[in-house]
Chain A
Amino acid sequence: MKFFLLCFFLFCCQGAKATASVEGFHLFVGAGNNFVFPSTFRIGYQAWEYGQLSSNFWGAAKKFPVQKIYYTQMGIGMLSVGETTLGLSAALGCDFDLFVGLGFRVEIIGEVGANSFAGAQGNIGLSYDF
């Protein structure tokens, strides 16, 4: 998974034209580590996204466009690893516009919990801007 994500990042560096969208309603559905699907399912409006941020993290996250298709994202929510605790997440990703609102999106998300868990996950999937 991580190898594919790296390749995709490098591919995107070559000539992205779109911009990481933070406007209107959008959707992101993707698979995570070991291609577990769905590992993320988010509904977004403007800069905010809500739902399953990773396979064990539910919450809300704010997206910060960087340039072209890249973004960083920080969120808070509930982390369920062993027990359910308050958690914080940070992500780096890119959302490559394919056609008519449909995008190919990958990201790596780091998550930490109040129970001292820390881990990361790669997400790869499709986004759609309504």
Chain B
Amino acid sequence: MTRFSEAGVDVGLGFNSTTSARLRPALILGTSWGNSRLSAGLTGVKSNYYYHSSYNLAFYKTWKSGDLFFADVESGLGVGGLYSLRSFQDEGSSTATNKSDFVLGPAFEMQWLFSNLTFLSIEVIWGLRDFSSHLALNAQDVVTFSLGVRSW
């Protein structure tokens, strides 16, 4: 039976919506204690012309939700943020164009613990960067998927 109330660390590999639809791996590191969990993720890509790096951090209060196909499901609700940095330098240009983004907002996660050690996780950060964009129906969510290993 999966334990939920002890301190532990977890490491996961997955992908992130900031590089969505391109197979760019993301590394997710987490630590949990009691019913709290801190999760950090990073992903990025670099070529001769551009690079793009994203870093996200979230804190959750977690609880056991139930089971899905005989495996435990854990949910968490909290706050999270993302910092993204990207740069592009066109061929023949001597200067690079740099841009960065920062979003902060409520976050939730769900972990499907299909064994005592391994889990699938989805984290969603609901970015509240700019309310006018929300009124314009533009999404600013950050979704991270990971397949992870947890050690207690």
Contact = CB atoms under 8 A, between A and B. Distances in A.
Whether chain B is bound by chain A comes out as yes
A92 B108 contact: yes
Contact of A74 (B20, B73, B131): B73
A116 B122 contact: no
Nearest to B139: A33
Contacts of B108: 72, 90, 92, 108
A89 B122 contact: yes
B124 to A, nearest CB: 4
A74 B112 contact: yes
A1 B110 contact: no
B122 A112 contact: yes
A122 B77 CA distance: 17
A112 B145 contact: yes
Q: How large is the interface on B (under 10, 10 to 19, 20 to 34, 35 or more residues)?
A: 35 or more
A111 interface: yes
B115 to A, nearest CB: 16
Contacts of A1: 134, 137, 139
Nearest to B24: A116
Interface in B114-134: 120, 122-124, 126, 128, 131, 134
Interface residues of A, number: 31
Given A2-B140, A118-B143, A120-B124, A81 B110 contact: no
Nearest to A61: B68
A64 B75 contact: yes
Interface of A: 1-3, 6, 33-35, 47, 62, 64, 66, 72, 74, 81-82, 88-90, 92, 108, 110-112, 115-122
23 contacts: A1-B139, A6-B106, A6-B128, A33-B139, A62-B66, A62-B68, A62-B73, A64-B73, A74-B122, A88-B122, A92-B77, A110-B124, A110-B141, A110-B143, A112-B122, A115-B21, A116-B23, A118-B16, A118-B143, A119-B141, A120-B17, A120-B143, A121-B139
